[in-house]
Structure 1
Amino acid sequence: MDTRRALGESGEDLAAALYRRQGFAIVDRNYRCRIGELDIVARRGSLLVFCEVKTRSSDRWGDPSEAVGPVKQGRLRRLAGHWLATRRAWPAEIRFDVVTVSALPGAPPRVIQLADAF
């Protein structure tokens, strides 16, 4: 497995653990279709969260959340619609989160959840 993929998976594992601690069940991870990929889909009661995880091992390119701009947000909305349609699931509430993971060398990972990010 290449280093970037391993870094991304470790960030997604940390994000999934964060949601579990908050009482969410992880209902899907790495859902792929022709539109793209959803990192995490989590449910707590009638709330369904679609989460994009951004993990960085360097701060050279800025804050990881900056990588989730308007184009990426639109793609994530379309992905969520596709996911919902294929499962015929229509929850009472939907939320889009971004979780950033900064995994700088020599430091513990820093996980930040931006709930209802867009």
Structure 2
Amino acid sequence: MRATDAVGRYGEDVAARFVTEAGWRVLDRNWRCPEGELDIVALDGDELVAIEVKTRRSARYGHPAEAVTARKLARLRRLTAAWLRAHDAPVRSVRVDVVAVTLPARGRAHVEHLVGVV
């Protein structure tokens, strides 16, 4: 496994723990279809949330959330629709969130949760 893959996997673990501790139910992790992958699919009450996780070791290349472009968001919306077609999940509404994880050289990961990114 490449170092960047390990950092990304760790960030996804941190994000999954973060939403679980907030009382959410994780339905899927790393769900794949021909169009791509959703990092985390979770329920926040009866609202389905597709979560894109971005992890960085530093701000050298910008804030992790800056990597989620308009093009990426459009893709996430298409992937979320594909997930809904593939699963029978009774949901009131759907949104896309971004969880940005920064891993300092020492100490705990810093987690920033951006809700309803459009």
Report the TM-score range of the alignment, normalised by the length of the smaller protein: over 0.9
1:48-63 maps to which residues of 2 (within 5 A)?
Answer: 48-63=48-63
Give the distance between the partners of 1:24 and 1:73, measured in 2 at CA: 22
Shift in CA distance, 3/99, structure 1 to aligned 2, threshold 3 Å: same
Q: Identify the range of structure 1 (69-78 vs 98-107) with the bigger mean alpha-carbon deviation.
A: 98-107
Cα deviation per residue 1:16-43 (whole Å; 9 max; x = unaligned)? 1111111111000001111111000011
Structure 1 segments (4+ residues) deviating >2 Å: none
> Please, what is the CA RMSD of the aligned residues?
1.2
Name the structure 2 match of 1:105: 105
Partner Cα distance (1:42, 1:88) in 2: 14
**Counterpart secondary structure, 1:80:** helix
**Aligned residue number for residue 78 of structure 1:** 78
The two structures have a TM-score, normalised by structure 1, of: 0.93
* Mapping for residues 22-33 of structure 1, pairs under 5 Å: 22-33=22-33
Instruction: Name the CA distance, whole Å, in 1 between partners of 2:21 and 2:35.
Output: 30
In 2, the alpha carbon distance for the partners of 1:45 and 1:98 equals 18
Residues 84 and 90 of structure 1 are in contact (CA less than 8 Å); yes or no, is this contact kept in structure 2?
Answer: no
| Equivalence for 1:42 | 42
2:115 maps to a residue whose letter is A
Shift of 1:10: 0.7
Question: Alignment identity in percent?
Answer: 44
The two structures have a TM-score, normalised by structure 2, of 0.93
Aligned length: 118
Structure 2 SS opposite 1:100: strand
Q: How far apart, in 2, do the equivalents of 1:117 and 1:25 lie?
A: 20
One-letter amino acid matched to 1:108: R
Q: What SS does structure 1 have at the residue aligned with 2:113? A: strand
Specify every segment of 5 or more residues in structure 1 that has no aligned partner in the other structure, as ranges: none
